[in-house]
Amino acid sequence: MINKKNLVFLGPPGAGKGTLSAPLMEAEKLAHISTGDILRGEIAAGTELGKSAKACMDAGKLVPDDVVAGMVANKLSSPECADGFILDGFPRTVAQAELLKKELEKIGSKLDAVVLFDAPEDLLLQRLTARIMCRKCNTGYNKIFCPPKQEGICDACGGELYQRSDDSLETAQNRLKVYREQTAPLIDFYTAAGLLVTIDSSLPKDEGYAALCAVLQ
Ligand code: AMP
């Protein structure tokens, strides 16, 4: 059992935010809000929002703050967040963090902790470029560190595994640069707010999960 339940997972792409979200949301019945997953859903559904976000995502750039903040606001006020939530990949700029604070204040809520997933860049690039995901259930695998039992097939649901177009080496490098320039300033922002806790996300999944539960006590 954890005590801190309204959470932001902060960290560079490939740090394992999605990987460790899955067991925590199941154990604690938390809602999982991944802005990347929502945007990929919009692209798959061919919506206007998806069409306008696709170019930014394919280039490894950020989608405009107001677009993602609007998507998150809708979710936060929904009943699925009543027992707590994991914001995975949001906020990614100081402006988004300020919009989030206002939105939570509006609904009489607040964050309990911001978990920084810390890992060296060479490991992140190795993870990103070998990462594959299920088209149906979004479960993540890695061709090197965590391969599926049968090549190309999801262990969990039998769905088809694919490589995200923004996990190519060039785009992954861009995404890490965008993280350093636009998202890393949130480390100081949330340290000043007294909310930041850090885990070593170069650890294998089980050890990383234990470290995560320990900082959320
Ligand atoms: P992710 O799945 O979290 O790695 O996100 C994939 C891509 O979606 C990012 O590279 C951005 O283009 C876009 N994206 C996801 N979340 C955000 C956000 N909070 N702000 C701006 N862009 C985002």
Residue range 119-170, pLDDT digits in tens: 999 999 999 999 999 999 989 999 998 999 999 999 999 999 999 999 999 9
- Hey, whose CA ends up nearest to atom 12 of ligand 1? 57
- The pLDDT, as a whole number, for residue 212 is 97
Q: Is 32 in the pocket of ligand 1 (CB under 6 A)?
A: no
Residue 98 has pLDDT above 90, yes or no: yes
The alpha carbon of 61 and the centre of ligand 1 are apart by a number of angstroms equal to 8
pLDDT greater than 90 at residue 1: no
Q: Is the CB of 16 under 6 A from ligand 1?
A: no
Average pLDDT over residues 179-197: 98
Res. 17: pLDDT tops 90: yes
SS3 sequence, the chain? Answer: CCCCCEEEEECCCCCCHHHHHHHHHHHHCCEEEEHHHHHHHHHHCCCHHHHHHHHHHHCCCCCCHHHHHHHHHHHHCCHHHCCCEEEECCCCCHHHHHHHHHHHHHCCCCCCEEEEEECCHHHHHHHHHCEEEECCCCCEEECCCECCCCCCECCCCCCEEECCHHHCHHHHHHHHHHHHHHHCHHHHHHHHCCCEEEEECCCCHHHHHHHHHHHCC
- pTM of the predicted protein model: 0.94
Q: Whose CA is nearest to atom 14 of ligand 1?
A: 36
pLDDT for residue 81 is more than 90: yes
- Which of 3.90.660.10, 2.102.10.10, 3.40.190.10, 3.40.50.300 is the CATH number of 6-120+182-215? 3.40.50.300
Mutational pocket test of ligand 1: of 9, 21, 39, 72, the residue with most ligand atoms within 8 Å of the beta carbon: 39
For residue 202, pLDDT over 90 is answered with yes
Annotated catalytic sites, by residue?
17, 92, 131, 164, 175
